[in-house]
Amino acid sequence: MARISSNLRLLGNFIVLLLGITTLMFFALRATGDPIIVMAGENASAEMIDSLRQQYGFDQPLLLQYVYYLGNVLKLDFGASLASGQEALPYVLQQLPATFMLALFGMTVTITVSVPIGIWLGARPDRTGPRIVSAAVIVAQGLPGFVTALILIQLFVVKLMWLPSLGYADVRTWILPSVSLASFLAPKLIRVIAANVSESMRQEYIRTARSIGMSERGVLWREAFPNAILGTVALIGAQFAFLFSGAVIIEVLFHWPGIGLLLFESTQSLDFPVLQAIAFVIAVLVFVVNSLTNVAFHMIDPRVGKVIK
Amino acid sequence: MSARGNGSSGLRGRIKVPFDSIELTLGIVFLAIILMLVVFRSQLQTHDPYVGDLLDRFSEIGVNGHLLGTDNLGRDVWSRLLEGIRWSISAAVIDTLVAFVIGTFVGLAAAQSTGWARTILNQIVDMALAFPSLIIAMIVVAVVGRGFWPLTITLGLVTWPVFARIVFAEALTLLERDYVKASKSFGARPLLIMLGHILPGLRPTLAVVLAFHFADMLVAESALSFLGLGAPLGVPTWGNLLQESRDYLMVAPWLLAVPSVGIIYTVVAVNLIGDGLASIARRKGLRIDI
Amino acid sequence: MKVAVSNALSISADAVLDALREATRFSVQAVKLGAVCILLGSCTSSTIGRDVLRVGIVSLPPAYGNPYAAMGAPASVTWQQLFDGLTRIDEAGNIVGALATDWYLIDPHTWHFKLRRGVQFSNGSPFDAEIAKEVFDWLLGDAGRFTPVGNELRDLAEVSVLDSHELLIRTRLPDPILPNRLAMVMMVEPNEWRNLGPKAFGQMPVGTGPYVLRTWRNKNGAAELLANGNGWRRPHVNVVELYPLLDHAARFQAAISNQLHLAQSMKPEEMEIFRKRGFDVLVDPSKQIIGIAFDVVGHPESPISDRRVRQAINYAVDRHSISKIITYGIHKPASQGAAPGVFGYNPDLEPYPFDPAKARELLREAGYANGFSIKATIVQGTYANDTEIYQKVQEDLADVGIEITLVATLFSDWIRQYVTGEWRTEAFSLGWNTAPYHDAIRPMDYFSCGKARPFFCDQSMMAEIENAATEIRSTEREQALQKLQIRFHDEAPSLFLLEYGHIWVASNKVSGFEMANGAPQLYKLRYSQATDRKVNR
């Protein structure tokens, strides 16, 4: 019974979230400019603009527009893109696989790099090797993601001509964007893992484990590591959520046909329907990721449920 | 980079390290150097940072009396770098504070309240997290244009939920502590509990989060500049310097390197301070999740 | 509602499945690639087997394949591959035949067009005079006249069919540049157009051009075009990919690394790098004049409402240095609102000389001896070097005491102010764009009271402008336009800067590069004999 009611509450939260986002987007976008004028072009006459306004329903009172809009959103109809004429939601969903891919590969690289390095740094924080690497990690954290991307492109695409940088049809185009994303996400993850590992190594029960003769390695992997992972689930979830909302700059630089690229292009043309559909899709994705993160939390440590609710 | 050597060995050798942590000391020394550069920038600048000589375009590092070369309009990069410190760092400081104030307030309010009020506050945080930040930036620029305040407010508006989340979670655990429960049972006002017990209890966590957040904001400014939504055109902020350099990667790579080094240096300084604070807190028995 | 939900769900499910498929494909290919790398000790070998012509452009057209949704470049770069107009403006600026082969004036109001025979649309249906009339009738009708292209045809009175391949076009006023205008009016297949409506037609356009659309966005994020089997010209290369790369650095990096055969809008300082790597560099012959216009109408109290001040600004800017140093001499200093070769260009006019002393004197006369400050709204990225040029202008003006603040804004904000005439600043970036018609009259129109909600309006010039717009005798018309150029030069409604044409680069792997209507004629491109047929990827 409690389970059902908590699921219902989750669903309620979800609906309120979507309603809030769509409403906020509707009114906020209207503050950014007039898409009809962009569409009509430089030599538009007043007559022409009025006619277009009528055609797209922008001549109605704002509240009425909002009611219509909400009614359509309930039917998952965001209208046609002002820029391309395509239905907005399918248009956005069509970009989703590319963004999924990038998030998946970016996170794979990030986690593969961060977990071993983080544990290594956390297990022996006071030795020289880990200290130097720690310093390098801090330096990497200061490098904006797009600077890394530019340097990588300059090196591997322009100078060495080993890898292409456009699109995602060719598998080799997947390497640089993933690495660029990882260079941006990994430093933080490494530091959190390291901090957690070194923290748990000092805990009481670890000392107990040592005192009953468990090997250093066993202590690290069986006791400290699982605890450290728990502390990073939230961050990994947040990073995933960030990637789903479109790593805009990385997608622009690599012409990666995902949601971020579409978001960038749509802001240029004030493509309201597409922007609204993007916000909607991102909200859904972020919600799903957050819920999954919570589930993961509960699975790893049932105690957490009580604290976070 | 000689600052690093002087900072650690000198300080450790002769005087007692003023703080309990070498990282903290080092970070403060780094930061102090940056502050000195800001204060004495008019003495240190060799050229007018806003005016260039077209004939002296793309001078390399050290050529024609330009310590760090010149940019696409022949302006002195060293002087522009110094000029940019003030803008970029104060922007990062202010938008960190904006995010901090809003986030802490909402987080505390959510922790304090119960039932519907808490649900609504948490919903607001969720909504803010799920709202595409590029669109917020675009709205701010469309309504008020590019400038110092639009930039700082945008970044503040985009990032406050980070604080709200952390403060909320931490405050909840603090509320369970015995001394808080005790003062509650004596009938202390909620506001008093928040200001008198919870906020001080959050201090170590907040100090660390603030330090790291500041570093993030420094990097974020350049991302907004990239999208044409950052500082006004021509103002030599570090984000603008990076943005302007992108078109000349092959002609003048130092234009990218110089502001990058500036940002990295500052981020390292602030991270050292954050690390130092964290290790002090750890020694005092507090656990901090970043 | 149910349908919509299940639709959306199935689409998202597809997206997820797609993602999984991609992931599998990636793993397989990555293993293969790894094996190749190990075996050959090199990863540089290309695996792309198809012959694809890859073109980097700034953006795809608004409304994609609906060719009436915008005027001229950059939209025409895409539309020129899919459609034809009746006429075409060739590389030298001459009006030549496309779907029309010949035309002449019957009387000042009536033009006679002979249409090309044997032309088919990509779906196989024939093109003839009836079809052309149907297209024009739509453009003159209620829906069409409110499109940017239909708007340019507002003075057309009537189009009638003479016989199967002959057309009469009557205009309300004499229209000497009608053949130029028609170069921008693409012929769509009217049945498809009618059945689908403009939006859906834009997704899957049908025209007579050398290429047909396969998809607007393939997995490379490019628009993919295939040779039109029914076309009246056969392209040499069968598959074209158009990459919309708005970001200049991304476009440059893609071009210089040989991922593109052809790339639009490069920067002058990159020319040496391209030449060294064997690229051809071409400057688009259809030019426009970069300028900063003054909102005299909206800011009557501002110093810029004084002609002497506007002239002073023109004297104060060192456009020769800007030309020589920032654009490496590629874009020449502008003397007027048109470039050489454009009909109505006045060869006797010289650019304002760089003369700060004269500028200060004019400012003193106008009562601004101590200078003043103004703001200018600019859009970055319209021209390849615009930001640097504006910043140099800012420095030059500071030297004569004029402090000009550059307010960079998004195009969407710029155009709102332009159309409503409500400028927040005294000046704004605006080119003199003669490019679509290659005729000087077009920018004069918007630099006058003729523009709806004008920013510069001198009634005394209107009679001359109207005369130049309707004078049918070529020599008289040219003289009228040249006289107007002098007037505009002296009135200085804008700061004249440079004569600008997009710089294109072409890899040495292709030959036959030619421009028309501000767009590359991709069907004329062929792979060079001597070199590898594949692009080195």
- Report the 3 state secondary structure along B37-73: HHHCHHHHCCCCCCCCCHHHCCCCCCHHHCCCCECCC
pLDDT at residue C8, as a whole number: 58
Domain boundary among A74, A102, A117: A74
Residue C504 three-state SS: strand
Q: Beta strands C262-263 and C52-57: pairing type?
A: parallel
Which residues from C are below 8 Å from B50, CB to CB? 395
Q: Does B247 touch chain C (CB under 8 A)?
A: yes
CA separation (Å) from C171 to C68, C78, C89? 20, 29, 21
Q: Indicate whether A31 and A98 sit together in one domain.
A: no
User: Considering only residues 137 to 176 of chain C, which have any Cβ-Cβ distance to chain A shorter than 8 Å?
Assistant: 145-146, 148, 151-152
The dihedral over CA atoms of C60, C64, C66, C68, expressed in degrees to the nearest 10, equals -30
Residue B64 confidence class, pLDDT cut points 50, 70, 90? confident
Chain B residue whose CA is closest to A142: B264
Number of Cβ within 10 Å of residue B15's Cβ equals 9
Show Cβ contacts of residue B244 under 8 Å, excluding neighbours closer than 6 positions: B71, B72, B255, C387
Q: Which residue has the tokens 């009634």?
A: C459
Residue B150 clears pLDDT 70, i.e. is over it = yes
Q: Mean pLDDT for chain B?
A: 81
pLDDT at residue B190, as a whole number: 75
Q: Indicate whether A117 and A145 sit together in one domain.
A: yes
By the 8 A CB rule, do A299 and A117 touch?
Answer: no
User: Considering only residues 196 to 235 of chain C, which have any Cβ-Cβ distance to chain A shorter than 8 Å?
Assistant: 198-200, 202-203, 216-222
Q: Phi and psi (nearest 5°) for C480?
A: -60, -45
Q: Indicate whether A191 and A241 sit together in one domain.
A: yes
Residue C8: closest CA among A288, A287, A286, A90: A90
Chain B residue whose CA is closest to A9: B119
pLDDT at residue C36, as a whole number: 53
Question: What's the per-residue H, E or C state across C221-286?
Answer: CCEEEEECCCCCCCCCCCEEEEEECCCHHHHHHHHHCCCCCEECCCCHHHHHHHHHCCCEEEECCC
Q: Indicate whether A36 and A155 sit together in one domain.
A: no
Distance CA A136, CA A23 (A): 44
Question: Are C395 and B73 within 8 A, CB to CB?
Answer: yes
Q: Phi and psi (nearest 5°) for C115?
A: -95, 155
The reply to whether A247 falls in a domain is yes
Neighbours of chain B (3+ CB pairs under 8 A): A, C
Distance CA A206, CA A168 (A): 47
The reply to whether A4 falls in a domain is no
* Residue A44 or residue C467, greater confidence: C467
Which residues from B are below 8 Å from A147, CB to CB? 222, 242, 256, 260
pLDDT at residue B286, as a whole number: 56
Residue A271 clears pLDDT 60, i.e. is over it = yes
* Residue B200 or residue C488, greater confidence: C488
Residue B136 confidence class, pLDDT cut points 50, 70, 90? confident
By the 8 A CB rule, do A117 and A300 touch?
Answer: no
pLDDT tens sequence across C343-386: 999 999 999 999 999 999 999 999 999 999 999 999 888 888 88
**Cα angle A24-B117-A292, degrees, rounded to a multiple of 5:** 70
Q: Indicate whether A109 and A180 sit together in one domain.
A: yes
Q: What is the ipTM of this complex?
A: 0.83
Question: Are B132 and A29 within 8 A, CB to CB?
Answer: no
The two structure tokens encoding residue C290: 């970069």
Which residues from B are below 8 Å from C379, CB to CB? none
By the 8 A CB rule, do B256 and A147 touch?
Answer: yes
Distance CA C237, CA C234 (A): 9
By the 8 A CB rule, do C417 and A35 touch?
Answer: no
Residue B273 clears pLDDT 60, i.e. is over it = yes
Residue B16 confidence class, pLDDT cut points 50, 70, 90? very low
Question: Are B233 and C409 within 8 A, CB to CB?
Answer: no
Chain C residue whose CA is closest to A97: C19
Judging by beta carbons within 10 Å of its beta carbon (0-12, 13-18, 19+), is residue A173 exposed, middle or buried? buried
Residue B7: closest CA among B36, B29, B23, B35: B29
Question: How many domains is chain A partitioned into structurally?
Answer: 2
Residue C500 gets which letter from DSSP? E
The reply to whether A86 falls in a domain is no
Question: Are B268 and A308 within 8 A, CB to CB?
Answer: no
User: Considering only residues 77 to 116 of chain A, which have any Cβ-Cβ distance to chain B shorter than 8 Å?
Assistant: none
Low pLDDT (below 50) residues in chain C: 1, 40-49, 530-537
Neighbours of chain C (3+ CB pairs under 8 A): A, B
- When pLDDT is averaged across residues B170-187 and rounded to a whole number, the result is 76
Q: Which residue has the tokens 């904000």?
A: C413
Domain boundary among A41, A74, A107: A74
DSSP percent split of chain B into helix, strand, coil, nearest 5:
75, 0, 25
Kindly report the pTM of this predicted structure. 0.86
Residue type, B262: G
Q: Which residue has the tokens 């979800």?
A: A14
- When pLDDT is averaged across residues B84-98 and rounded to a whole number, the result is 90
Residue C315: closest CA among C406, C400, C404: C400
Q: Helix and strand tally (H, E) in chain C? A: 16, 23
Q: Does A6 touch chain B (CB under 8 A)?
A: no
By the 8 A CB rule, do B130 and B205 touch?
Answer: no
* Residue A260 or residue B143, greater confidence: A260
**Cα angle B26-B30-B34, degrees, rounded to a multiple of 5:** 165
Residue B284 confidence class, pLDDT cut points 50, 70, 90? low
pLDDT at residue C337, as a whole number: 94
User: Considering only residues 65 to 84 of chain C, which have any Cβ-Cβ distance to chain A shorter than 8 Å?
Assistant: 66, 69-71
Chain C residue whose CA is closest to B145: C409
Q: Indicate whether A261 and A126 sit together in one domain.
A: yes
The dihedral over CA atoms of C373, C377, C382, C388, expressed in degrees to the nearest 10, equals 30
Q: Indicate whether A205 and A252 sit together in one domain.
A: yes
Distance CA C513, CA B91 (A): 49
pLDDT at residue A169, as a whole number: 77
The two structure tokens encoding residue A253: 């630089």
Q: Mean pLDDT for chain A?
A: 82
Question: Are C392 and B234 within 8 A, CB to CB?
Answer: no
Residue of B229, B250, B255, B256 best to disrupt the C interface, most CBs of C under 10 A: B250
Q: What is the CATH number of the domain that holds A178?
A: 1.10.3720.10
Q: Indicate whether A49 and A142 sit together in one domain.
A: no
The reply to whether A45 falls in a domain is yes
Highest averaged pLDDT of the listed ranges A150-164, A221-235, A291-305, C163-177: C163-177
Residue count of chain B? 290
Q: Indicate whether A168 and A69 sit together in one domain.
A: no
Could you tell me how far CA B198 lies from the centroid of its own chain? 24
Q: Indicate whether A70 and A148 sit together in one domain.
A: no
Question: Are C71 and A43 within 8 A, CB to CB?
Answer: yes
Q: Indicate whether A64 and A111 sit together in one domain.
A: no
N-to-C CA span, chain A: 17
Strand order in the sheet with C239-244: C211-215, C223-227, C239-244, C52-57, C262-263, C503-506, C280-283
Residue C389: closest CA among C510, C259, C289, C516: C289
Domain that holds residue A116: 93-308
* Residue A212 or residue A101, greater confidence: A101
Judging by beta carbons within 10 Å of its beta carbon (0-12, 13-18, 19+), is residue B50 exposed, middle or buried? middle
- When pLDDT is averaged across residues B140-144 and rounded to a whole number, the result is 79
The reply to whether A87 falls in a domain is no
pLDDT tens sequence across A62-96: 888 899 889 988 888 888 888 888 889 999 998 88
Distance CA C188, CA C213 (A): 13
Residue A215 gets which letter from DSSP? -
Distance CA A180, CA A201 (A): 32
Computed from CA positions of residues B161, B163, B166, B167, in that sequence, does the dihedral angle turn out positive or negative?
A: negative
pLDDT at residue C32, as a whole number: 63
Looking at the partner chain, which of C62, C146, C253 has a beta carbon nearest the beta carbon of A269?
A: C62
Question: Are A28 and B135 within 8 A, CB to CB?
Answer: yes
Number of Cβ within 10 Å of residue A45's Cβ equals 16
Residue C109 gets which letter from DSSP? T
Question: Are C412 and B142 within 8 A, CB to CB?
Answer: yes
Q: Closest Cα of chain C to B190: distance in Å?
A: 46
Residue type, C480: A
Q: Indicate whether A108 and A222 sit together in one domain.
A: yes
The reply to whether A260 falls in a domain is yes
pLDDT at residue C289, as a whole number: 95
Q: Which residue has the tokens 């040499």?
A: C236
The reply to whether A286 falls in a domain is yes
